Every structure is written in structure tokens, then in C-alpha cells.
Amino acid sequence: MKKQPLDRRSFLLKASSTAGVAAIGHTLPSPVSALGHDTKGTGYVYDALYEEHVIDDGHPESPDRLEEIRLSMKASGLNAKVTPSAPIEDPFPFIRRIHTQNHIDQVDQIPTTGAVAKQAVAGVLGAVKAVSEGEVRNAFCAIRPPGHHAHNSGREEGFCYYANVAVAARYAQLLGHAKILIIDWDYHHGNGTQDAFYNDGSVLFFSTHDSSAYPGTGDENYTGEGEGAGLNINVHLPCGATDADMIAAWDQMLIPAARAFGPDFILISAGFDSRQNDTLGCFDLTDWCFAEMTRKAMALADEFCEGRIVSALEGGYNVTGLASAVVNHVGTLLNHEVDIEWARTRYRAYNKAGMRDGLLHLPGVSWQNVDEVLVHDAAGRRVTRIPRRQIRGPIIDLRKRSMSPGLYITTVAYRGQSPQRYRYHVAQ
């Protein structure tokens, strides 16, 4: 019998527990190289529609996550190297292989969110199709909402609505790939994915997570049942887990199990809340670790399934850290060396308040103390006002405001602090 999940919102109010199994491994191995890559390249899924979904004002699973990824992909030059992947037209027949019709009907009725959640699945399935047909070697899906907590409740569970990766696994099987390896490196346990395949002998599920965090599942004693016995591998890592701990889990548990299983297709639930300094996680993983995990997954894919990997975004709530890790992940999928110093410089810069590319950045939790944002033109006339209730995260997009070319002054009014002012120039 599997442990029942707890409500995620209760976990957001608690500090992450440091109790649990001791960290494993203490020595970082040298980086591995991806093997024999051809020139098919890496697919990339992104749609502006994904940014229209909002759970609540100020909610950590915000559109700013994708906006920062978009900016970082552009600044790093990777957006010019990836190959856009088109979504499939109708994902519902495939969603029904995981979810009940009642769940689908209820989610589909949620204004805006229903359509976005459907399109997120369509995007991932489009990437699976492109990789399966050899259009690209692998793919990353910059999607939201995430999916690895979704069951059949008819509502949001842990920020998730449809089990994107679980649906993708069934879709890949329909395309002829019988044995699917799912790797979940999110800080939180992918209980929805686990439950979808707990008795299934055709899917190997490997999850590293903090089992003391939401949803309270992921006990290492739950290893699968029936035909799926031994194919559900949960690895609890304690708060503060390092790169060495994560890589040791891969080397000691995932890689031997994957080689014994022999996957035909690899899917990654790419949650970057396991990165250091995340607002909802307490691991200490660096960007190097995400690149190294990617290299190891690619080596497995080269060994068993002609390089076939599709990675789909799950968590990651420190938006600058999220974007930095994504750039390293995608750069590795491309077999392209990412300038680590560039990434660090960008990360430091984006953790400072200021105007960049028409975006007002209020890093950390400082945005939660903002009363209002005022924009005046060079003559001192007020052009726009953004009240507190409209400030939903650390990035405020002023490009959506109608402003003529010229110089503007943006004033950020904080509660109990002096206001901060920034210049913003709108080009011709």
C-alpha cells in the first residue's frame, strides 16, 4: 500500500526537514562525455500561451518562470541552435490513457488554465513525435503547468493538472517504443508518475527527491508491485544534498537499473527546484550537476535507444536559478559547451534589482513588499501605475504597457522602505 500524499500548501508553510537517510557519496566523478552524437540537433517546445496560466497572485508557479527561461535562452544564444518542435493537434485521446474523462472534463472547464494544460501536453507529445521520427535527436519542453503530481482529482495537485510525462510515456509506446525510462530529478517526489506505472513492467521510474517535503511520498521501500516489482526506484536525499550525493545516486542505483532494463526511450521530469537557492527546495545542486545528469542520461540513450530523450519542465521557483540550470541542461542536450562564467555572471546580475530588456526585476522576496510601481515620462507625467494586487512575482513586464519611444522613470514603492527608481528607454 502506497503512502498517501499530503496537501502541498501545508508544506509551503513548513521549513524543510533535515531528517532522513544520510547523503550518499562524497567524491565528484569526472564529467562524462555524450557518445557519438550526430547533427540532428535538439528540439525545443515553447508557446507564449503557457505564460497565460496563473494559479493565484504571487503564486510561485508563475509565468515569470518561462519568461526568464526565454530571456536566458536568447542571451546565451541557444535559442538559435535549437529546433522548434510543433505540438500535436489533439492530445485528448492520449491524455485519456492516464486520466479519467471526469478529470479531463473538470480541468478543461477551468478558464484559461484548462486550455494551457491541454497545450502543455500537446507540446510534450509533439516533442516525443519529433524525436521518434528522427527529426531531432532529443528535445526540451519549456512548458507549464508542470505535471508529475497529477492524478484524477479533477483539480490542481501540487501545481499540476495533467501528468505530462506519464502521458508522454504512453504516447511513446504507441509509437513503437515499448520500454520507457522516466527520470525525475525534481526536489519533490513525482507521486503522480509513480502511481501511473506502479504495477507496470514496461516503465522504469527513477526519482530522487526529499521525501519529507510535499507530497510526503517517495519512500524507498515502495519499489513497485506485480509486473512492476523492482521498477519503481525512490531515492530520498536529505536537505542540503550536494552534487556528489546526486551523482552517487545515479551511479549506484539508476545506471545499473537502466542497463538491466534496456530502455527504448528516455523521458526526464526536469524539475529544477532541486537546484541550490530554490524558494521551495533545500538541495544544494549546482548547474554542473544538471549538465552532468544530462550527459549521463545521454550516454544511456546512446547505448540503448539511439539517443532518444525528451525532457519536460517540472518545478523550479527561483526564476534566475531555474533559467541558469535550464541553459546548462539544454546546452548539454545540444552537445554544446555552455559558458559557465557567463551563466554565473548573468545569475549574479539578475539577482540585482533593475530594468533589463523592458522587464523590471525584483529578485528574491523583495517583490512581496512592493506597494505599487509607477512609471513617469521624462516630463514627469504619470504613464502607468501597477498596484500591489497585480504584482504576481519578481518580474514585471513593462513591454505590455503602451508607451511611446523615449525615456521613462520607473519608481518602485516599498512598504517601510525608501522607493527605488530606474531608467527605462523605449526604442523607436
Separation of alpha carbons 417 and 428, rounded Å: 35
| pLDDT at position 1 over 90 | no
Say how far apart CA 235 and CA 306 lie, in whole Å: 27
28-42, 94-108, 307-321: which range is least confident on average?
A: 28-42
**Residue 389 pLDDT:** 79
pLDDT given for residue 30 in this prediction:
30
CA distance 217 to 212: 8
pLDDT interval class at 26 (50, 70, 90) = very low
Q: Give me the percent of the chain exceeding a pLDDT of 70.
A: 83
3-class DSSP assignment, residue 348 = helix
- Residues 275, 161 contacting (CB under 8 angstroms): no
Please report where in the chains the cell 493538472 appears, as a residue: 161
pLDDT, tens only, 313-370: 999 999 999 999 999 999 999 986 555 555 555 545 555 667 766 777 776 556 678 8
Region 229-249 average pLDDT: 95
pLDDT of the residue at 337: 58
pLDDT of residue 20: 31
Out of 3-12, 343-352, 359-368, 382-391, the most confident range is 382-391
Name the pLDDT band for 29 (thresholds 50, 70, 90): very low
Across 118-125, average pLDDT: 98
**Distance of alpha carbon 277 from its chain centroid, rounded?**
15
Helix (H) or strand (E) holding 376: strand 370-377
- Per-residue pLDDT for 281 more than 50? yes
Residue 360 near residue 103, CB atoms below 8 Å: no
The answer to whether the beta carbons of residues 239 and 216 sit under 8 Å apart is: no
Q: State the pLDDT at residue 38.
A: 44
- 387 confidence band (pLDDT: 50, 70, 90): confident
**Cis previous bond, 145, omega within 30:** yes
Q: Which of 194, 45, 197 has the alpha carbon at shortest distance from 123?
A: 45
Catalytic site residue 149?
yes
pLDDT surpassing 80 at residue 11: no
- Name the least confident of 43-47, 52-56, 233-237, 343-347: 343-347
Q: What is the mean pLDDT of residues 80-107?
A: 97
- Compute the average pLDDT of residues 143-164: 98
- Domains of the chain plus CATH, in order, are 8-349 (3.40.800.20), 354-426 (2.60.40)
Cross-strand pairs, 376: 382, 409
Place of cell 527520470: 183
What are the angstrom distances between the C-alpha of 205 and each of 69, 144, 278, 356, 395? 27, 22, 24, 41, 35
Is 200 within 8 Å of 182 (Cβ atoms)?
A: no
Return the pLDDT at 35.
Answer: 35
Q: Which is catalytic among the residues 53, 99, 148, 149?
A: 149
Residue 334 phi, psi dihedral angles, 5° rounding: -75, -5
